[in-house]
Amino acid sequence: MNKEKLIDKACALSRPYAVTDGASFKLKKVDPSDTGPFSDEDKPKAREALAEGIELLAELQDTLYAHDRWSVLLIFQAMDAAGKDGAIKHVMSGVNPQGCQVASFKVPSSEELDHDFLWRCQRHLPERGRIGIFNRSYYEDVLVVKVHPELLDKQKLPDAVRGKGIWDTRYKDIRHFEQYLANNGTIVRKFFLHVSRDEQKKRFLERIEDPAKNWKFSAGDIAERAHWKSYMDAYEDMIQATATKTSPWYVVPADNKWFTRIVVAAAVIDALSSLKLAYPTVTRAQKDALHAARAALEAE
């Protein structure tokens, strides 16, 4: 398939899952088991399309790198076992590792807690020409921390700034921060991999039963599962408050990993192709220098 056609297909596939204006967003309206235009029998076709998409992504990333002006930040958030790691691994499998960096954000260290909540993430922002991936992010500070407000105690905030309005303040700070990034040439795309509670249970059981997957399971995951409703509320509030045209959230159905991956790849293709990237053009003087270099090499 030609490049333009593939880009059009990627846009058509991913855009239904983009939230560009959070105001009216309702999480209930997104079905985690949705597979868009694909039925179960279409799986091989979807896999083929993903492979084509990954090839195109590699080409676009190469231009991003050579162009060396824009950078792209992809943020992944999800409940445990929703498939963040697999989506990142598959979607980025074709790209040049030199142009891509992944940062994972876990429970903050004491050094990190000694700073504002954006600090640790800012240190991992992608350079120009690169794709940066956040596996979890500053959004944890309006998710896990909102579900467990006692975590705020560890953040050593002065009493005067940790009143009731703290979540709204954080949403606003995040909106401004992402707008600031956009203003400086970093485009941000955010992915919430939306898995159902039943599918999570199935995946946890697989992790317990399959020795090769035991390492992925932690007892703490069950404890968080018990707070499912609070997490869904926190996700919905967060998306409502931080989905914007410049920095959209993609709420990606995640009960079928093959579908999650193809939507994520399509959204990244949409983002990169929107930048109208081009390889740097060579000036007259540079062209003359190239000719001179060739002449010198041939005269050896």
CB of 85 to ligand ATP, least distance (A): 5
Query: 156 in the Ramachandran plot: left (φ > 0), alpha (ψ -120 to 50) or beta?
Result: left
CB of 210 to ligand ATP, least distance (A): 15
What tokens appear for 111 in the block?
């050094």
The DSSP code sequence of 121-134 is HHTTPPPTT-EEEE
The footprint of Mg ion on residues 52-81 (CB under 5 A) is 80
Please say which residue, 141 or 178, places its beta carbon nearer to ligand ATP.
141
Residue 272: name the closest of 48, 6, 50 by CA: 6
Please say which residue, 17 or 235, places its beta carbon nearer to Mg ion.
235
Q: Which of ligand ATP, Mg ion, none does 106 bind, CB closer than 5 to 8 A by kind?
A: ligand ATP
User: 90, 151 in Cβ contact below 8 A?
Assistant: no
Please say which residue, 43 or 115, places its beta carbon nearer to ligand ATP.
115
140 binds Mg ion (CB under 5 A): no
CB of 247 to Mg ion, least distance (A): 25
Please say which residue, 8 or 221, places its beta carbon nearer to ligand ATP.
221
What are the residues binding ligand ATP (CB under 6 A)? 80, 85, 105-108, 135-136, 140-141, 144-145, 151, 218
Q: Which of ligand ATP, Mg ion, none does 28 bind, CB closer than 5 to 8 A by kind?
A: none
Residue 268: count of CB within 10 angstroms of its CB: 28
Q: Which of ligand ATP, Mg ion, none does 51 bind, CB closer than 5 to 8 A by kind?
A: none
Tell me the residue nearest to ligand ATP as measured from the CB.
Answer: 140
Please say which residue, 24 or 110, places its beta carbon nearer to ligand ATP.
110
How many alpha carbons fall within 13 Å on the CB side of residue 244? 15
Residue 148: name the closest of 213, 231, 72 by CA: 231
CB of 221 to Mg ion, least distance (A): 6
Q: Which of Mg ion, ligand ATP, none does 107 bind, CB closer than 5 to 8 A by kind?
A: ligand ATP
Tell me the residue nearest to Mg ion as measured from the CB.
Answer: 80
Q: Which of ligand ATP, Mg ion, none does 178 bind, CB closer than 5 to 8 A by kind?
A: none
Please say which residue, 130 or 170, places its beta carbon nearer to ligand ATP.
170
Q: Which of ligand ATP, Mg ion, none does 34 bind, CB closer than 5 to 8 A by kind?
A: none
What tokens appear for 110 in the block?
């004491």
Please say which residue, 80 or 199, places its beta carbon nearer to Mg ion.
80
Using CB under 5 A, list all residues that contact Mg ion.
Answer: 80
